[in-house]
Amino acid sequence: MICEVNEMGKEYTKFIAAAVQTAPVFLNKEETIGKACSLIEEARDNGADLIVFPEAFIPTYPYWPKDLGTGPERKLILDAYTELYKNSVEIPSEDTDKLREAAKKAGAYVIIGMNERDGGTLYNTILFIGKNGTILGKHRKLMSIDSEKCIWGMGDGSDLRVFDTELGRVGGFFCYEHHMTLAKYAMFAEGEQIHAGLWAGHGFVKPTMDFASRQYAFEGQVFVIAASLYINEDMVPNSFPLKKYTKWDFPGGSGIINPRGEYLAGPLYDKEGILYSEIDMDIIIRAKAVIDAMGHFSRPDILSLNINKEKYSLIKIKGSGVEASSNEHGEIKKEMKELRERYERLEAKIEELIKGSTTGYKRIRR
């Protein structure tokens, strides 16, 4: 990363972004994480300050069909889901520790897609890791499309987040989230400057990925680092029972796009690789001189957006005129218990002092 001073005496940032187009080690969490760590090292060796991986990279995107009827093939569907679940990632965990350590060693920001396991449900999740190895946060896909709904739960308003970094304000979406108009506007309203677009690389989505990524960059005056999976039939073990039921057409389409909607690198198709480009944050200023979606080119007096940022909870506790989520209720009970214990310790101390006194004070009772 380079901080320079322009002719007006103002600092601005230049850095190198990397879009990783790669294939998972199919349905193998440990080896895919190992591959991710190696790619982080490779990208950093080539100067990358920000490294973006594709959608559901760990341990794979569920490319296979989700419904083969109620016959014997039904078992194959459940077997595939079971393997996906067992190879998914809990956040935080020893799995994320490996990724954090790799980011810290590289001194680079890492954004990576994974299947997240939380209880009995899987989520399509983006994990954001700081260059010092800390987890900045995560984004769960707000709305799965088509048969994805058979695999993943949905995120909530708390997943509409932009993270402050020394590179700029960073956020991310998955594939068709880029068509959720109000969600895009919410990210722009958060001041997003650098957007990670994570894709699965479907062949039929090639034109969509191209125009959606360029439109997002132009509409929000942001840089887009689009990272896609690439996988072919030879990369899938023959032991995978749904291999023959799947059309393996996933050519990718990664690219790095400036706030004018122009490619700085890519698009890349039909192979694995890492794309690099210098990101000059001054270009955002120039783009916003023409269109500022959240400023002079908006009409908040006519059009506005309501956002519910509340984290979704299955349980709500109501009573005494107070409503709290199950998490909040648990915190309140914990604090009350700690206060009670402190009170009892204080009372015991006072009684001890009274017993040792010769002044004859009356015992203090509750």
The pLDDT tens digits for 56-95 are: 999 999 999 988 777 888 899 999 999 999 999 999 999 9
The whole-number average pLDDT for the span 242-270 is: 97
334 has a pLDDT exceeding 50: yes
> Using only C-alpha atoms, what is the Rg of the chain?
25
Determine whether 3 is an active site residue: no
User: In the prediction, which pLDDT does 357 show?
Assistant: 67
Least confident of 19-28, 122-131, 154-163: 154-163
364 has a pLDDT exceeding 90: no
What span, in angstroms and rounded, lies between the C-alpha atoms of 91 and 80?
Answer: 22
Q: Select which of 29, 141, 177, 184 is catalytic.
A: 141
361 has a pLDDT exceeding 70: no
User: In the prediction, which pLDDT does 353 show?
Assistant: 82
pLDDT band of residue 321 (cuts 50, 70, 90) is: low
pLDDT tens for residues 278-300?
Answer: 999 999 999 999 999 889 999 98
User: In the prediction, which pLDDT does 327 show?
Assistant: 60
User: In the prediction, which pLDDT does 253 show?
Assistant: 98
Determine whether 331 is an active site residue: no
Least confident of 22-26, 208-212, 223-227, 338-342: 338-342
Percent of the chain with pLDDT over 70: 90
12 has a pLDDT exceeding 80: no
User: In the prediction, which pLDDT does 8 show?
Assistant: 46
363 has a pLDDT exceeding 70: no
202 has a pLDDT exceeding 70: yes
CA dihedral of 121, 122, 123, 127, whole degrees rounded to 10: 120
Q: Select which of 29, 55, 184, 192 is catalytic.
A: 55
332 has a pLDDT exceeding 80: no
Can you name the CATH fold of 2-290?
Nitrilase/N-carbamoyl-D-aminoacid amidohydrolase (3.60.110)
Determine whether 175 is an active site residue: yes
Tell the residue number behind the tokens 């100067």, with chain if given: 47
Contacts of 95 (CB under 8 A, 6+ apart): 29, 33, 58, 89
The whole-number average pLDDT for the span 259-275 is: 98
Amino acid identity at 220? G
Q: Containing H/E element for 104?
A: helix 94-106
Q: Select which of 175, 177, 184, 192 is catalytic.
A: 175
| Residue of 225 and 324 predicted with greater confidence | 225
Least confident of 132-146, 224-238, 340-354: 340-354
The whole-number average pLDDT for the span 343-358 is: 78
Mean pLDDT taken over the chain: 90
What span, in angstroms and rounded, lies between the C-alpha atoms of 69 and 151?
Answer: 16
pLDDT tens for residues 127-178?
Answer: 999 999 999 999 999 999 889 999 999 999 999 999 999 999 999 999 999 9
